[in-house]
C-alpha cells in the first residue's frame, strides 16, 4: 500500500457516519487471488471510495483464509510452503499455530518454545509436526460452544457425534503472551493497557468426525488425535472441518477484524449445497429455541441431534465475493470450493483504538444487522441480536485482555472448569445474556412445510 492515506466520510446503512480509510494504490475492485501465501496486513480500500466497503473487507477475509489453509512448510510452524498451492495436501498453516492447551497448561508451567510441540498436553502423548489434537485440560472445553463468557451446550452432528472445537494462536500472539508471562493469572491481573501487536492472529476451528458423513469429498479432512469424553483416552480419527473463525489485529482496525467461514453443507439455504447437511436432517423439523443439551453433565451416549438453521441470510455482497473465490477454487479442483464466508465484522470508524467493540461501533452493527453475523457451527443460538455478535461478546474483555476471551478464561488457574462467572467481564456478559433471553423465541424463523425449500442441487 502507498504511504499516502486520505480520509473520507461514509454513511453506513443505519445512517451513521464512518471515517473509512482511503488508500492510494489499492485496486478499484478487489482482485480475486488464490495464490497468496501471506495473510494481508490490513484491508485495502481505494482512494475516493465512498460506499460501504464490505467487498474490500470480505476480500481481506478470503485472502486471509487462503493464506491460513495453505500447506505449511515442513518443520516450520505457521510458515506457508512457497513450493505448494492451496490445493496441495499436507498440514495447513493454521493447524500449526500454537494450540490453546500448549500455552495454558493445567499446572501453570512454562510453555515450550514456538517451534516445539509441547509435551504437556491433554492426551499425554508426544505430538508430531502438523498433528491436530482435539482435546482439552478443562472438562469438556473442546465440546462446549463458547457462550457469553462461559461454555454452553454442545452441538451434535447428523452422524450423532459431538462437534469439536480448537483454538490456535500465531507467533506474534504467542510471543507476547509468553514473554510477558500472561499465561499466569497473577501476571495477567497486573497487566495494564494490554494491547496485542499488529499482525496478531487467533483462530478457532470446528470439526466433526467423518464416519457416516455423506459426500465426504466436499470436506477438508484429516486425521486428528481425539479425546474420548468418558474415558479421557485419545485415539486417531478422521475429522472434517466445518467452521473457521479468523481474528486479526491490523493497523487501521485495532479492535481486530473478525472473519467467519463455514462448510457449505452445514445447514440448508446456501448455494450449491449437496442436499445432505451435517447440522440438519433435511426435514421441516424446527430448530429449538435454545440448546437442549447441557455441557455438564455431558449427555452420553450422544443424543439425537436437533436441526440447526441460518436465521439471517448471508449479505448479498458477501455472497458475490464467495461466488468469485469459490469459482477460482473450483477451477483448480480444490476442496476449499466447498467453504463460504458467512461474515466479516469490523470496527468503525477506523484508527479509533479508544472505541469499544459494541454494536454502535461495528459493521454489522446497530441498525445494520439484517444479515448474518454468526457461525451456525460455533454460535448456533447467537444469531438474532447484534448484541450477541463476535465483537459484542469479546468487547466485555476489551480492557482486560484486548478482546481475547481465551486469555481471560484460560490463564492459570483457569476460570473455565467450573463454568462460573468469576470476574467482572464475565459478570457484564451474564447481565447482557439475561437481557436477551426474552427475545430468543422471536428470533427463530417460522417453519412451513410448503415454504421451507431445501437446496438439493448437486455441485
**Domain locations in the chain as residue ranges:** 5-443
Phi, psi of 329 (to 5 degrees): -70, -35
Q: pLDDT grade, residue 428 (50/70/90)?
A: low
188-242: per-residue pLDDT in tens?
A: 999 998 999 999 999 999 999 999 999 999 999 999 999 998 888 999 999 999 9
How much is the pLDDT for 21? 41
The continuous run of DSSP H or E covering 169 comes out as strand 164-169
Q: Is 323 helix (H, G, I), strand (E, B) or coil?
A: helix
281-330: per-residue pLDDT in tens?
A: 999 999 999 999 999 899 999 999 999 999 999 999 999 999 999 999 99
- Mean pLDDT confidence for 46-66: 95
User: Is residue 388 scored above 60 in pLDDT?
Assistant: yes
Name the residue with cell 466479516: 344
146-185: per-residue pLDDT in tens?
A: 766 567 899 999 999 999 999 999 999 999 999 999 999 9
CA distance 39 to 93: 11
Q: pLDDT grade, residue 443 (50/70/90)?
A: very low
3-49: per-residue pLDDT in tens?
A: 323 333 333 333 223 333 444 489 999 999 999 999 999 999 998 88
* Number of Cβ within a 10 Å radius of residue 439: 11
DSSP one-letter code for 423: S
Q: pLDDT grade, residue 414 (50/70/90)?
A: confident
How does 137-149 read in b/e, with b if 16+ C-beta sit within 10 Å?
bbbbbbbbbbbbb
Cα distance between the two ends of the chain? 38
How does 240-268 read in b/e, with b if 16+ C-beta sit within 10 Å?
bbbbbbbbbbbebbbbbbbbbbbbbbbbb
How much is the pLDDT for 81? 98
CA distance 141 to 145: 8
CA distance 177 to 411: 10
253-264: per-residue pLDDT in tens?
A: 999 999 999 999
CA distance 185 to 198: 24
Report how far apart, in Å, the C-alpha atoms of 84 and of each of 73, 166, 172, 307, 324 are.
9, 25, 24, 39, 22
349 preceded by cis ω (within 30°)? yes
361 is written with which cell numbers? 461501533
User: Is residue 61 scored above 50 in pLDDT?
Assistant: yes
Name the residue with cell 421441516: 284
CA distance 324 to 61: 13
Amino acid at each position: 500500500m502507498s504511504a499516502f492515506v486520505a480520509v473520507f466520510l461514509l454513511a453506513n446503512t443505519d445512517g451513521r457516519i464512518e471515517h473509512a480509510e482511503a488508500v492510494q494504490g489499492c485496486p478499484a475492485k478487489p482482485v480475486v487471488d488464490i495464490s497468496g501465501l501471506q495473510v494481508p496486513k490490513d484491508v485495502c480500500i481505494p482512494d475516493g471510495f465512498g460506499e460501504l466497503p464490505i467487498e474490500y473487507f470480505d476480500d481481506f477475509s478470503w485472502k486471509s483464509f487462503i493464506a491460513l489453509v495453505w500447506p505449511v512448510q515442513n518443520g516450520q510452524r505457521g510458515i506457508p510452503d512457497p513450493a505448494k498451492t492451496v490445493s496441495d495436501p499436507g498440514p495447513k498453516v493454521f493447524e500449526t499455530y500454537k494450540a490453546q492447551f500448549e500455552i495454558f497448561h493445567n499446572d501453570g508451567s512454562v510453555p515450550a518454545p514456538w517451534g516445539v510441540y509441547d509435551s504437556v498436553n491433554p492426551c499425554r502423548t508426544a505430538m508430531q509436526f502438523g498433528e491436530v489434537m482435539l482435546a482439552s485440560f478443562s472438562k469438556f472445553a473442546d465440546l462446549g460452544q463458547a457462550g457469553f463468557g462461559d461454555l454452553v451446550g454442545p452441538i451434535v452432528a447428523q452422524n450423532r457425534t459431538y462437534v469439536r472445537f480448537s483454538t490456535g494462536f500465531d507467533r506474534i500472539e504467542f510471543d507476547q503472551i509468553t514473554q510477558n508471562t500472561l499465561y499466569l493469572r497473577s501476571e495477567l491481573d497486573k497487566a495494564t493497557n494490554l494491547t496485542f501487536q499488529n499482525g496478531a492472529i487467533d483462530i478457532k476451528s470446528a470439526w466433526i468426525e467423518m464416519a457416516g458423513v455423506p459426500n465426504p469429498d466436499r470436506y477438508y479432512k484429516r486425521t486428528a488425535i481425539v479425546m474420548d469424553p468418558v474415558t479421557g483416552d485419545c485415539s486417531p480419527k478422521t475429522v472434517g472441518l466445518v467452521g473457521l473463525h479468523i481474528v486479526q489485529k491490523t493497523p487501521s482496525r485495532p479492535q481486530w477484524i473478525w472473519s467467519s467461514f463455514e462448510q457449505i453443507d452445514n445447514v440448508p439455504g446456501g448455494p450449491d449445497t449437496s442436499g445432505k447437511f451435517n447440522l440438519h436432517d433435511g426435514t421441516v423439523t424446527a430448530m429449538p429455541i435454545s440448546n437442549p443439551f447441557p455441557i455438564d453433565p455431558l449427555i452420553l451416549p450422544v443424543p439425537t441431534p436437533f436441526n440447526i438453521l441460518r436465521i439471517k441470510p448471508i449479505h448479498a455482497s458477501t455472497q458475490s465475493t464467495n461466488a468469485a473465490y469459490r469459482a477460482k477454487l473450483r477451477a483448480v479442483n480444490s476442496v476449499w470450493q466447498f467453504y463460504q464466508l458467512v461474515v466479516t465484522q469490523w470496527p468503525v470508524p477506523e484508527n479509533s483504538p479508544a472505541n469499544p467493540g459494541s454494536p454502535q461501533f461495528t459493521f454489522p452493527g446497530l441498525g445494520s444487522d439484517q444479515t448474518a453475523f454468526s457461525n451456525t457451527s460455533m454460535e448456533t443460538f447467537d444469531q438474532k441480536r447484534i448484541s450477541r455478535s463476535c465483537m459484542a461478546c469479546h468487547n466485555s474483555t476489551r480492557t482486560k485482555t484486548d478482546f481475547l476471551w481465551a486469555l481471560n478464561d484460560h490463564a492459570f488457574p483457569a476460570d473455565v472448569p467450573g463454568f462460573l462467572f468469576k470476574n467482572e467481564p464475565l459478570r457484564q456478559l451474564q447481565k447482557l445474556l439475561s437481557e436477551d433471553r426474552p427475545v430468543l423465541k422471536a428470533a427463530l424463523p417460522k417453519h412451513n412445510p410448503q415454504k421451507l425449500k431445501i437446496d438439493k442441487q448437486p455441485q
